[in-house]
Chains A and B, each alone.
Chain A
């Protein structure tokens, strides 16, 4: 069975440019998460979806970040415009019950 798939693997952009990340969760997993991990830190939750509904987006910086999960399967996370401080690894995870499975992440560098 395929795991959580994320793309791109790496992204380098200049500040003020837009960027988007894509995630395909494990088939049948209703819950999808986006985490951000800064260097030397643990992952921090940005947003959690139950099917199509964003049930927890309290940590998402809504002035520049947006996310969607159309049809309750794939999800995209967008940053517009990107800032230097957005450089981090963006991780997507999905779960069916208590166990979260993570993708390989997208490593974003904002120059």
Chain B
């Protein structure tokens, strides 16, 4: 079965700093999803990447997919306290979202 490894497990940054979270898959990626979760709450959809080399941005968050490396990165520019939370990557190794497997998450703390 597909496994996703996220790094780092946790991250503490000062407000205004840039940061990167990585997600590496044990199998070929067909779709890579990034979600954000506040403690004890549901997952908020951020972005979905489907093609090798694809890059998407939303506000100050940019995600890239490196198909050859079976890896995705999430980059936050000029972090703010509102960016704090748990970032989860999810992936499918076949078409569609039926078999969406998640990593364990990266806990981000942004200190003002």
Contact = CB atoms under 8 A, between A and B. Distances in A.
Contact of B41 (A42, A48, A95, A104): A104
A42 B97 contact: no
A56 B98 contact: yes
Interface residues of B, number: 24
A1 B45 CA distance: 16
Given A89-B40, A101-B45, A42 B96 contact: no
Q: Is the interface of A mostly helix, strand, loop or mixed?
A: strand
Nearest to B30: A98
A6 to B, nearest CB: 8
A69 to B, nearest CB: 16
Interface of A: 4, 6, 31, 40-45, 48, 55-56, 89, 91, 93, 95, 97-105, 107
